[in-house]
Each structure stands twice: as C-alpha cells, then as structure tokens.
C-alpha cells in the first residue's frame, strides 16, 4: 500500500478523537473555557444525555468578532505565547485544540459578546467548516451550542453508552468543577429540568449543596503544608458515606494520577470519600501530558506522594486510636486516670472563639482550645524527641533574622535543645542567623514570627525564671490561639487528637484544660425531673 498524507478532514477527526471521547468531554472543555474567561455564572444545558444538545453559557470575557472564526482553528489560543508559558500554565486551556476538536465532530453554534462591543457575533461551524458568521444581539459572555455529537463519525456514535450513563458522566464533570469553584454560580439543566442550581458560596456550603448534610457532616477537613505545597480538602473513610469516591485537584484542575490514587487507596483502605486539593507552584507541575489534560506529572513526584500519604496517615492515625476518652467523675477538672474513660463526645461549637463546647455521656465540657491543642502538639513533640526523630519543616528560603548580641548568645546556648525539636539555624554574617528548619507543627509562613517569639522567651529567661522547657514553648507558640474561630470539623478533629493523650486533663504547662458539668446536676438545679412540664 502506498504511503499518503491524510486529508485535512481526516486529520482533524483523528485529533478530535483524543480530546473528545464522549459528551462529558465536551462539557469539560466548554466549562474550562468559561472559567478561563473569568465567568462568574455558568449554565450547562443537556438534551438526550448530550447526544442531541450540549449548551454552555457563561458571563465571561467573550470573544471579539474578528477572532471568532480563529478560535475554531487548530492551535489557536489566547492563553500562551511562547514555550516558557507552557512550563507554568495557570489556565485550564493552552493547546488551542478544544473548540476545533468539538467542531470537527458536531454542529456548533457560538454566540458571543465581549464587554466593549455593542453587538455580538454568531457563527455556525459544521464538521470543522465555518458555515456562517454574522452580527447578532447577544448577552455579555459566550454561549456555545453543540448539536448531534459524532453525527459524522458513526462508529464513535455507536460507542456511546445509554443516555443514563452519558448523563452520569456529565453530572460527574459538572459536580467536580462545581465543588472546586464554589465562588462561581452553576446551573445544570437536563431535558428542560434543572438538576442543580448552585449560587456562589463558600467551599463548605457548596459541599452541603452537592452532598447534603449527612455526608458533609461526616467529612473531616484536611489542611497541611509541606515542601511541595499546600494540601487541603475533605476526607472520610466510612464505606456507608461513599465507596472509593476520590477526586484530585491540582491548582483546582481536576486530574488523575495513578500514584496519588494508590496512596489514597492505601490510606483509606480502598473505601470512603476524598476531595483533595493540592496547591503547588505551576512550574512544579506538567499538565501537558495528555491532549485532554487529565493527567499531570510533578517535578517532585516523591515529595507530593509523601505530602499526601503523610497527611492522610497522620489524619487516620489519630482516628484509629480515638476512643473519645475524657475525664468523668465529680471533680470539675478531670484527672489523668479518668481521662482514659472511654466516652464519645461531640463538638457543639465555640464559646467566645476560645472554648470548645462538647457533649457526651451526660456531660458537657468547656475545653480551652489553646490548652488542648498545646497538649496535642507537646505530646507529639516529646514522642518524636524520644525517638530521636524531630519532625522538621525545611524552609524553602532560609529565614534570616537580625539579632542583638544577647539574643545571639541565648540562641547559641540552647542550640542543641532546639535542634532536638527540629529547629536548626546557622550563623549568617555578623549579628544574623539563617533559620533552615522549624518544627513541623508550624506552617512555614509563621517561621519568622515563631522564631522571634521563641527568642523573646529565651531572652526573658523563661527557662530559668519559670522552668519552661523548649518543647513547652514550641507547643505553646504553635497551638491555636484563644480568640481564633474554628470550623466545627476542626473542633472535632482537635478533640479527637486531644482525647488520645494520657494527660488530656492538663496542658503542656500542667494547667487544667477543661471544665465539665453533669447534665444530671443541671437537671437537679433547675428542677427538671421526670414528669415536669415540657416533657415530650
Ligand atoms: N467561553 C469562552 N469565553 C471567551 N473566550 C473563549 C471561550 N471559549 C474559547 N475562547 C477563546 O477561544 C480560544 C480557543 O479555545 P480552545 O478551547 O479551542 O483553546 P484553549 O482553551 O486556548 O486551549 P485548550 O485546547 O487546551 O482548551 C481560547 O484560547 C479563547 O481565547
Ligand atoms: Mg479550552
């Protein structure tokens, strides 16, 4: 057989096949374009599982009339200019392939108007051919209508699954973006019925709107920082909540990553639900791996793996040992022995952003959030010191501190104690030190204020005058401060960690952590006995 160059329409169809696999791929590409255009409201309309119609409307930047036909050319993009831009892509799109791919395998109509234009543009493209372009009255933003997907590729059309299956893929794409972008308003209309109408809100309220109260209440918040970046999200490994529903986002781009998936699978025991958001410098991640941009590669695969696996393991290590034990008994303050009593208690809320109010087994507790967190951090630190493995956080850029002679002297005097806790520093010219690592209970952004406050305590002779140790100082400085608002999930998480402590009743400085009140006593005091008024 002779070798031939394929005709353009066939080349286009083959290329389109890599980007557009099914109706949900069209929805994904159009949503991404809307987000890249700065849309605040995105409406997705579907007919017949997307086979008949997919329409995505946004209120974003719009396309200038003289660029509308160009937008449907291959490799036409407004998002990158040169090869350096590919190394640090901040937009969803950059390949200039989505619109021409969609148009190669369907009948497309675009109506668009940028803010500056009085009139909009309407264009029709069919099987990659521009049929018509005209001026048109149009709302601000862009509406792209895709009809009869794969009408010109019967074999692809045959491979489409039932309307129900295709719709479930579309709903998957829609909800994935909607959860990652709570600050946008989203609507999904299927065959004339609104399936989702989500107004712009917070992440937590978006979870509530998408997954309901029951699931949201069982999702724990994750939030930690590592060398590779910040990791946050929601997790739960209860099989009753979900079965292996794991979603990963890198800089809010939904992605697949086999290694991360395995890390998560192992940490969650192959079940449960996870929404994991990794925030990382765009230079450290390569999104140009697959035409559909579903997969990513990290420059430091190991670092990202450690960050994810470490965060989940720490989270679940706490949960495994959690027996919910806090003090019981008559004394207002619990004792070490009574702290082991296995009771389950639940955070109800904060009082003055300082005390966590919790209930369990007929008792109410007011727990000093700072003291409880200090206890958790202190125990962890002491355990690590005993193992000779202080958990340290390497600072990407060393924190340089200019110090007075007395400060340099106390710092030098306590150097080995500080190193045992994960804090290391070098002399950095006259009167300056460069802090290289800090204990990992502190986020990197607090390195400077932490070091300054620690040095101040050392300079004030807190060790000599008050008998305070360096681990106590570190736990105290790193613990949540009184007056800090905490979401309920974080209050519960704090209680979980704290209740495992052998010395839950006392903070690192041995002051009481909580006050408890028996509900029986409350009933007695206010005369609520069986049969009193108001009983159900
Ligand atoms: N909803 C929209 N609002 C404003 N401009 C848009 C919209 N959709 C597409 N465009 C413009 O059309 C261009 C081509 O879009 P297309 O999706 O084909 O490529 P891309 O987004 O640049 O890259 P990719 O192929 O990776 O998605 C975009 O670069 C953008 O300038
Ligand atoms: Mg695009």
What string of DSSP letters covers 506-526? B-TTS-B-EEEEEHHHHHHHH
Tokens (6 digits) for 121: 């543009």
Domain with 415, as residue range(s), is 324-536
pLDDT higher than 90, residue 363: no
Ligand 1 in reach of 103 Cβ (< 6 A)? no
Mean local confidence (pLDDT), 95-102? 94
The pLDDT score that the predictor gives to residue 535 is 60
The pLDDT score that the predictor gives to residue 67 is 96
Residues 363 and 343 in one domain: yes
Confidence of residue 482 (pLDDT cuts 50, 70, 90): confident
- Asked, for residue 338, whether it belongs to a domain, the answer is yes
Q: Which CATH number does the domain housing residue 155 bear? A: 3.30.565.10
Ligand 1 in reach of 373 Cβ (< 6 A)? no
How many C-beta atoms surround the C-beta of residue 388 within 10 A?
7
- Inter-residue contact 128 to 102 (CB < 8 Å): no
Ligand 1 in reach of 170 Cβ (< 6 A)? no
Nearest CA, atom 10, ligand 1: 33
- Let me know if 8 is exposed, middle or buried by CB neighbors in 10 A (0-12, 13-18, 19+): exposed
- Inter-residue contact 328 to 55 (CB < 8 Å): no
Ligand 1 in reach of 108 Cβ (< 6 A)? no
Last residue of a domain, one of 281, 304, 321: 321
Q: Which CATH number does the domain housing residue 518 bear? A: 3.30.1540.20
Last residue of a domain, one of 283, 303, 321: 321
Mean local confidence (pLDDT), 456-466? 74
Mean local confidence (pLDDT), 298-314? 84
Q: What is the pLDDT of residues 236-280, one digit of tens each?
A: 988 877 778 899 999 999 999 988 898 888 888 888 899 999 999
Q: What is the pLDDT of residues 7-21, one digit of tens each?
A: 888 888 888 888 899
Nearest CA, atom 7, ligand 1: 33
The torsion angles phi and psi of 518, rounded to 5 degrees, stand at -85, 135
- Asked, for residue 3, whether it belongs to a domain, the answer is no
Residues 317 and 331 in one domain: no
Ligand 1 in reach of 95 Cβ (< 6 A)? yes
Q: What is the pLDDT of residues 396-417, one digit of tens each?
A: 888 888 888 888 888 888 888 8
Q: Output DSSP code: residue 121.
A: E
The pLDDT score that the predictor gives to residue 14 is 85
For residue 408, the CA-to-ligand 2 centroid distance in Å is: 55
Q: What is the pLDDT of residues 335-350, one digit of tens each?
A: 333 344 434 668 999 9
Residues 277 and 154 in one domain: no
Tokens (6 digits) for 159: 């491979």
Residues 330 and 316 in one domain: no
Counted domains in the chain: 3
pLDDT higher than 50, residue 5: yes
Ligand 1 in reach of 98 Cβ (< 6 A)? yes
Residues 65 and 174 in one domain: yes
For residue 33, the CA-to-ligand 1 centroid distance in Å is: 5
Residues 400 and 503 in one domain: yes
The pLDDT score that the predictor gives to residue 514 is 85
The pLDDT score that the predictor gives to residue 529 is 64
Q: Which ligand 1 atom sits nearest the alpha carbon of residue 77?
A: 29
The pLDDT score that the predictor gives to residue 416 is 86
For residue 413, the CA-to-ligand 2 centroid distance in Å is: 59
Could you tell me which residue, 57 or 160, shows the higher pLDDT?
A: 57
Residues 463 and 484 in one domain: yes
For residue 256, the CA-to-ligand 1 centroid distance in Å is: 22
Q: Is 182 helix (H, G, I), strand (E, B) or coil?
A: coil
Residues 130 and 228 in one domain: no
Give the dihedral sign, CA 475/478/483/487: negative
The pLDDT score that the predictor gives to residue 35 is 97
Ligand 1 in reach of 60 Cβ (< 6 A)? yes
| Average pLDDT of the chain, as a whole number | 86
Residues 155 and 281 in one domain: no
Mean local confidence (pLDDT), 145-166? 92
- Inter-residue contact 231 to 223 (CB < 8 Å): yes
Q: Which ligand 1 atom sits nearest the alpha carbon of residue 76?
A: 14
For residue 146, the CA-to-ligand 2 centroid distance in Å is: 15
Q: Is 281 helix (H, G, I), strand (E, B) or coil?
A: coil
Cα–Cα distance for residue pair 4/428, rounded to 1 Å: 67
Tokens (6 digits) for 103: 């148009």
The share of the chain scoring above pLDDT 70, in percent, equals 92
Could you tell me which residue, 331 or 85, shows the higher pLDDT?
A: 85
Q: Any idea which ligand is nearest the CA of 101? A: 1
Q: Which ligand 1 atom sits nearest the alpha carbon of residue 80?
A: 22
Residues 219 and 179 in one domain: no
Residues 156 and 257 in one domain: no
pLDDT higher than 60, residue 534: yes
| Closest of 415, 469, 466, 423 to residue 444, by C-alpha | 423
pLDDT higher than 90, residue 121: yes
pLDDT higher than 90, residue 183: yes
Last residue of a domain, one of 200, 229, 251: 200
- Asked, for residue 490, whether it belongs to a domain, the answer is yes
pLDDT higher than 80, residue 430: no
For residue 275, the CA-to-ligand 1 centroid distance in Å is: 27
- Asked, for residue 125, whether it belongs to a domain, the answer is yes
- Let me know if 396 is exposed, middle or buried by CB neighbors in 10 A (0-12, 13-18, 19+): exposed
Ligand 1 in reach of 33 Cβ (< 6 A)? yes
The pLDDT score that the predictor gives to residue 322 is 30
Residues 308 and 373 in one domain: no
Q: Which CATH number does the domain housing residue 229 bear? A: 3.30.230.10
């Amino acid at each position: 057989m002779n070798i031939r160059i394929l005709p353009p329409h066939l080349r286009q169809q083959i290329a389109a096949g890599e980007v557009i696999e099914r109706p949900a791929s069209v929805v994904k590409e159009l949503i991404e374009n809307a987000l890249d255009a700065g849309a605040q409201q995105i409406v997705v309309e579907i007919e017949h599982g997307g086979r008949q119609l997919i329409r995505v409307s946004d209120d974003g930047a719009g396309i200038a009339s003289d660029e509308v036909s160009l937008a449907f050319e291959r490799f036409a993009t407004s998002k990158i200019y040169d090869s350096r831009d590919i190394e640090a892509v901040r937009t969803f799109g950059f390949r200039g392939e989505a619109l021409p791919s969609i148009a190669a395998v369907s009948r497309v109509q675009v109506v668009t108007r940028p803010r500056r234009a009085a009139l909009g543009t309407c264009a029709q493209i069919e099987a990659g051919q521009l049929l018509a372009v005209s001026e048109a009255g149009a709302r601000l933003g862009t509406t792209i209508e895709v009809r009869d997907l794969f009408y010109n590729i019967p074999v692809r059309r045959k491979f489409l699954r039932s309307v129900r299956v295709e719709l479930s893929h579309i709903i998957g794409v829609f909800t994935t973006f909607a959860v990652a972008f709570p600050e946008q308003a989203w609507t999904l209309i299927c065959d004339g019925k609104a399936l989702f109408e989500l107004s712009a809100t917070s992440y937590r309220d978006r979870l509530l709107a998408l997954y309901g109260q029951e699931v949201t209440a069982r999702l724990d918040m994750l939030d930690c920082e590592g060398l590779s970046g910040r990791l946050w999200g929601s997790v739960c490994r209860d099989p009753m909540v979900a079965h292996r529903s794991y979603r990963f986002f890198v800089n809010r781009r939904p992605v697949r990553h086999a290694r991360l998936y395995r890390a998560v699978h192992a940490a969650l025991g192959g079940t449960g639900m996870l929404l994991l958001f990794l925030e990382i410098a765009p230079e450290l991640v390569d999104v140009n791996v697959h035409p559909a941009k579903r997969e990513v590669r990290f420059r430091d695969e190991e670092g990202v793996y450690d960050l994810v696996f470490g965060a989940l393991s720490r989270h679940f290590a706490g949960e495994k040992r959690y027996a919910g034990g806090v003090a019981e008994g008559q004394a207002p303050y619990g004792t070490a022995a009574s702290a082991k009593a296995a009771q389950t208690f639940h955070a109800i809320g904060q009082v003055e952003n300082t005390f966590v109010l919790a209930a369990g087994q007929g008792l109410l507790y007011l727990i000093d959030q700072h003291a409880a967190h200090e206890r958790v951090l202190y125990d962890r630190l002491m355990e690590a010191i005993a193992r000779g493995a202080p958990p340290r956080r390497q600072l990407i850029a060393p924190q340089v501190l200019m110090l007075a002679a007395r400060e340099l002297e106390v710092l030098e005097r306590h150097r080995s104690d500080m190193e045992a806790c994960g804090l290391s520093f070098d002399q950095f010219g006259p009167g300056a030190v460069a802090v290289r690592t800090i204990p990992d209970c502190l986020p990197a952004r607090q390195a400077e204020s932490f070091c300054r406050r620690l040095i101040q305590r050392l300079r004030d002779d807190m060790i000599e005058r008050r008998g305070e140790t360096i681990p106590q100082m570190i736990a105290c400085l790193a613990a949540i401060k009184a007056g800090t608002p905490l979401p309920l999930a974080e209050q519960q998480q704090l209680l979980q960690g704290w209740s495992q402590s052998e010395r839950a009743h006392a903070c690192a400085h041995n002051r009481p952590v909580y006050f408890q009140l028996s509900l029986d006593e409350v009933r007695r005091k206010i005369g609520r006995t069986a049969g009193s008024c108001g009983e159900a």
